[in-house]
Structure 1
Amino acid sequence: MLRFWQLRRDGEIVHVAVRQQRLITVLAVRGPSLRNYVAGLLWPDCPEPRAMESLRVSVHLVTRQIPGILAKEGSTLALDPVVQVDLYRVRALLQESSAGVGPAQRALLDLRDAELLPGWYEDWVLFEQSRLQQHRLRALTTLSRSLLQAGDCEAAAETAAAALEIEPLYEGAVRALVTADLGMENSVSALHAYNSYAAALRRDMGVLPSEALMKLIGAVPAYSPLLASQPLAHSVEDFLPVHGGEAAVLPVPLAVGDPRTEALLAVGFAPRADH
């Protein structure tokens, strides 16, 4: 169910109609469930008798096409325990990663690609997608911190970047990425990660990064030849020079010659610059 839906038996793909896919998926995600619960989840807009009849038909079709995949015990439906589900492997990996154990490279690859049922938009699927995404985000961030503690800054940076692919405004992942870049003495990348996050945070949320992150980026020298070579941006509000770890963002545009410009925007430019 990760990245795409597919059923295989003995290495061969088994083609299953969408209606039967939905039944198998509910049981794979939610585990053993009461029949009326499954019927209500799959046919929420139907009266209960009609939903139960639709479920009965789906169970019959699945049982006939794929004998042995379902375990039926009275009012309860489940997948047979021999069925292997990729989601279960990722759930176990999430627990390992949250504890900071397990092979880091395998965890990174599995968690980065663990997108649940893309293209499915039913409410119960969207809920499960969001829940898995949040678990992946926290696990990747925790794994990045564990790698930092182990002294593997390169793997920590890669893992933090994978977390930011899920949620670009997750500050814990930004902090891990900046720390990893600084640990590799890559201050330009650290500054770029911070500035990108600060700009997006201000644009989308109207707030500044936390004081802890500002102090962390304070380890980057305020003056950089790279910044010094850049002209003053046309829109002052979009320019985010760094001074002591603080993003100097103006609340309103400034007119040319405004005396406030020098104090707020001189940081990062060459000494005695006229800007």
Structure 2
Amino acid sequence: MAAELTVLGGFTLTDDARAAISVSSTTRRLLAYLAINAREVGRISMAGIMWPDATESHAAMSLRTALARMDAPTRGLVHVASASLRLADTVSVDLRSSHALALRLLPAEGSAIAADIAPAAVAALSEELLPDWYDDWVLAAAEDWRALRLNGLETQSRLLMKDGRLPEAGVAARAAIVADPLRESGQAALIKVHIAEGNQSEALRVFDRYSSLLLDSLGLAPTPLLSVLVRDMSA
């Protein structure tokens, strides 16, 4: 069964005709975990993570029961082996394609392509992983994803500026700021976009707002690297 599994911005599961597939809460958690872990997952490990308060034998039984209760079409989304599980090859996962996109945008990689700075690519990196899910395994994966996509968004902003696409560069920079308002590099990206557009007042507004936020939150001031961007404007 071909399907598309979305975990960025929320959980959705659709078939190859883009019709929504309804699944139980337990199945949703199982599929989400397999989506986040691209490799095969040991059954014992997965059972312990899904049912952390149960004994090993009860957790293993709960996993067997959950798999058995999947209806026939949904069961085909999971490749079940004697000791491991993984998503079937026919299931596409938005996190995996977006993760590959973010890796291409890492400075060390330097392998970004034109599509990596298209509006759809910026949107792909603007989404959180399973917001409003609070399982420990989700929170850990979400933090890893946030760190990776922040770098990607800032690189997209820089490449879009280089390409003269300033409004789009601003969209990427703002998405980085939404993801982490205290991160100075995201604020710098937006200030640079405003300067390139000739909007000095907007650049100063971003700097002043960030300065107040940083002082109120951490008792810190912006670094000289950021301050120098607007130094001549405020003189």
TM-score if structure 1 supplies the norm length?
0.76
Q: Structure 2 unaligned segments of length 5 or more: list them.
A: 1-6
Shifted more, 142-151 versus 68-77: the winner is 142-151
One-letter amino acid matched to 1:101:
I
Find the partner of 2:36 among 3, 12, 29.
Answer: 29
List gaps (5 residues or longer) in structure 1: 223-275
Amino acid at match of 1:75: A
Distance 1:164 1:62, change over 3 A: same
Residue number in structure 1 paired with 2:10: 4
What is residue 16 of structure 1 aligned with on the other side?
A: 23
What are the within-5 Å matches in structure 2 for residues 177-256 of structure 1? 177-222=190-235
* Paired amino acid for 1:111: L
Q: Is the 8 A contact 2:67 2:75 kept in 1?
A: no
CA RMSD of superposed structures (Å): 1.6
Segment of structure 1 superposing worse, 23-32 or 39-48: 23-32
Task: Work out whether 1:102 is the aligned partner of 2:109.
Answer: no
Q: Which protein, 1 or 2, shows the higher relative CO under an 8 Å CA cutoff with sep ≥ 6?
A: 2
Distance change in 2, residues 1:221/1:208 (3 Å): closer
* Contact in 2 for aligned 1:2/1:115 (Cα 8 Å): yes
Amino acid at match of 2:96: Y
CA distance in structure 1 between the aligned counterparts of 2:162 and 2:144, rounded to whole angstroms: 27
Counterpart residue number, 1:160: 173
Post-superposition shift, 1:74?
Answer: 1.8
**For 1:50-107, what per-residue CA distance to the aligned partner results, in whole angstroms no more than 9, with x for missing partners?**
0000011011122645242111222011111111112112112212333443332221
Give me the whole-angstrom Cα distance separating, in 2, the residues matched to 1:86 and 1:221.
Answer: 44
Aligned with 2:129 (options 112, 116, 131): 116
Q: CA deviation at 1:174?
A: 1.1
- Is the CA contact 1:96–1:102 (under 8 Å) kept in the aligned structure 2? no
Q: Is the 8 A contact 2:76 2:88 kept in 1?
A: yes
Residue 52 of structure 1: which of 45, 52, 60 is its match? 60
- What amino acid sits opposite 1:6 in the alignment? T
- For each residue in 1:81-136, what CA deviation from the matched residue of structure 2 results, as whole angstroms up to 9, or x when unmatched? 11111211211221233344333222112222x22212211111111112112211
Structure 1 or 2, whichever has the larger Rg, is 1
Partner deviation per Cα, 1:151-210 (whole Å, 9 max, x = no partner): 333322221111101111111111111111111111000000000001111111111110
For 2:228 and 2:23, the matched residues in 1 are separated by: 55
Contact 1:198 1:209 in 2 (8 A): yes
Q: For 1:134 and 1:2, how far apart are their aligned partners in 2?
A: 14
Deviating above 6 A after TM superposition, structure 1's stretches of 4 or more consecutive aligned residues are: none
Percent of residue pairs bearing the same amino acid type: 30
Q: Number of paired residues?
A: 221
The answer to whether the 8 A contact 1:97-1:107 is kept is no
Using the size of structure 2 for normalisation, the TM-score is: 0.88
Three-state SS of the structure 2 residue aligned to 1:8 is strand
CA 152–39 in structure 1, closer or farther in 2 if over 3 Å, else same: same
SS in 2 for 1:169: coil
Q: Map of 1:76-91 to 2, 5 A cutoff?
A: 76-91=84-99
- Aligned with residue 135 of structure 1, among 107, 123, 148: 148
Alignment deviations for residues 17-57 of structure 1 (CA, whole Å, 9 cap, x no partner): 10111111111111310100100110111110000000110
